[in-house]
Amino acid sequence: MKLTLEVAKKIAKAAHAKAKEMSIPAVIAIVDEGANLLLLERTEGSMIAGIALSQDKAYTAAATGFDTHQIAPLAQPGQLGFGLAGSDRGRLIVFAGGLVLRSENAVVGGIGVSGGLAPQDQEIAQAGADALASL
């Protein structure tokens, strides 16, 4: 399945519902398989910094094929990926909240969420990813 704007809206709707349930003002970004921004939605009360962070989380997931929380251990001092967070003009994010969006085992994009603590962002992003899986 190709990630279209219509599909992205369904993913975002599920993520927003989860954020509302958790009482977290969040910014949700969805990118396509080329890591190009497809959709960006910001709820009232969310931090301005979340706009860039959510986009970079989605970008990281789509560009690398890894969920952002999976990259964190690799980017620690002494690990092979140390310095990764500063690469790609500083766009690569190495903490939770960015998930790869897959369809039929192929990367079709990424979702990035910013607004809560990293585990909360992860949970909200997962709700969006689960919505894609159910389509």
Q: For strand 106-114 and strand 98-103, is the pairing parallel, antiparallel, or unpaired?
A: antiparallel
Q: What one-letter code names the amino acid at 3?
A: L
Give the SS3 label for residue 17: helix
Instruction: Give domain status of residue 36, yes or no.
Output: yes
Instruction: Give domain status of residue 111, yes or no.
Output: yes
Instruction: Give domain status of residue 2, yes or no.
Output: no
Q: What is the pLDDT along the chain (135 residues), one digit of tens a residue?
A: 899 999 999 999 999 999 999 999 999 999 999 999 999 999 999 999 999 999 999 999 999 999 999 998 888 899 888 888 777 887 899 999 999 999 999 999 999 999 999 999 999 999 999 999 999
Number of structural domains the chain divides into: 1
Instruction: Give domain status of residue 40, yes or no.
Output: yes
Contact (CB, 8 A) for 112 and 64: no
pTM for the model: 0.94
Burial class for 134, CB neighbours closer than 10 Å (0-12, 13-18, 19+): exposed
Here the CATH number for the domain that contains residue 122 is 3.30.450.150
pLDDT at 84: 81
pLDDT at 1: 87
Instruction: Give domain status of residue 3, yes or no.
Output: no
Domain that holds residue 45: 8-133
pLDDT at 81: 82
